[in-house]
Amino acid sequence: MVELRDIEIFLALARELHFGRTAERLHITTARVSQSIRKAERRVGGPLFERNSRTVRLTALGEQLQQDLSAGYRQISDGIAKARARTGAVSGTLTLGTMGPMAHTIKPVLDLFESTHPDVTLRHREVQPPAPLDLLRSGDADVALVYLPVSEPDLTVGPVVHVSDVLLMVSTSHPYAERESICVEDLGDHCAFLPGRLPASMEAAFQPFHTPSGRPIARSARLPSTWHEVLGLVTAGHGVLGAARDAALYYSWPGLTFVPVRDMPPVRWALVWRTADESPLIRALGHAAREVSSETP
């Protein structure tokens, strides 16, 4: 009933001889270290450390146990690492950037990924729609879920994970709010936001620059930098903006209405990463994404 975790803690403390540093190294609290050592001492039947609030020292018993356990612990760790290497299992931390609701949209992919790669820690960062590629460029995310088209020389576009219709977000007091649906031509009559720092091709996915008949679609001078600012401006009637259908599901704000744009092609969402920083972890995530899309077409 002494488990590997306890042995790990014991060995760490035996080397550090300091509860605080041991806890830090293992990313746990000193309380846990204390509890674990206490448990080990129970099991063994005697004290492994002599300690007070000023000093920590191995007892003879502890010293011997350290000798005996460290070799075995090494062997086991190495054995598992070897087997993991052989299967190509990956581990580490992967930071994924998503725009609010989209994280939930790809939950099946993340679930599969986490269960097939239990030693990977997934972290999340919020992608701001006005600047969807910034998080990748700054290195704050390893992979991001963004809408296409993305054709940047430094970025790789991975598997498409999700497809969503385009709706127009308008204030409830806007004339279009009453409409069943609108068409792109209608956009020529109203002012849209310039969403922010993003390539024109991406901007056009939700917000074309011209109507089918060739009329320009105007941009507002306002430059919101976060998604909530965008929602606020739209609600206040300062403009309109194309958005994914998913937004309508998650942001049913009072004062905000979503109107389908019937002649805009659906927007595809894909995993994107820095080509230069592609890693086994990223490939594994891409693999999981392809698995899921293939089983639920």
Partner DNA sequence: GATCTTTACGCCATGCGTAACGATA
Partner DNA sequence: TATCGTTACGCATGGCGTAAAGATC
Q: Which residues bind DNA (CB under 7 A)?
A: 1, 3, 5, 18-20, 27-39, 51-56
Stretch that binds its own copies, among 25-33, 79-87, 132-140, 231-239 (CB under 8 A): 79-87
Contacts of 34 (CB under 8 A, 6+ apart): 19
182 contacts: CB under 8 Å, gap ≥ 6: 168, 176, 259, 260, 261, 262
| Nearer to DNA among residue 31 and residue 76 (C-beta) | 31
Backbone angles phi, psi at 77, to 5 degrees: -60, -50
Provide the minimum distance between the beta carbon of 11 and its own copies in the complex, in angstroms, as a whole number.
Answer: 11
Tokens of 65: 């146990």
Considering only the stretches 2-10, 140-148, 161-169, 259-267, report the one whose residues sit in contact with its own copies under the rule CB under 8 A: 2-10
42 binds, among DNA, its own copies, none (CB under 5 to 8 A by kind): its own copies
Residue 260 vs residues 16, 169, 210: alpha-carbon distances, Å: 63, 9, 18
Closest distance to DNA from the beta carbon of 23 (Å): 7
Q: Which of 104, 107, 111, 119 is close enough to bind its own copies by CB under 8 A?
A: 119
Report, in Å, the least distance between residue 88 CB and its own copies. Answer: 7
Instruction: Please give the C-alpha separations between residue 203 and each of 9, 148, 169, 219, in angstroms, as whole numbers.
Output: 52, 10, 15, 11
Q: Of the two residues 31 and 249, which places its CB atom closer to DNA in the complex?
A: 31
Cβ closest to its own copies, residue 2 vs residue 122: 2
Judged by CB under 8 A, the residue of 61, 122, 148, 177 near its own copies is 61
Compute the distance between CA of residue 229 and CA of residue 235 in angstroms, rounded to an integer: 10
Closest CA to 195 of 155, 243, 237, 261: 243
Rounded-to-integer distance, Cα 94 and Cα 143, Å:
8
Residue 277 C-beta-side C-alpha neighbours within 13 Å:
16
Q: What is the DSSP secondary structure assignment for residue 191, as one 8-state letter?
A: -
Residue 191 touches which of its own copies, DNA, none (CB < 5 to 8 A by kind)? Answer: none
Q: How far is the CB of 103 from its own copies (least distance, A)?
A: 24
What residue ranges bind its own copies (CB under 8 A)? 1-5, 7, 42-46, 61, 64-65, 67-69, 71-76, 78-80, 82-84, 86-89, 115-119
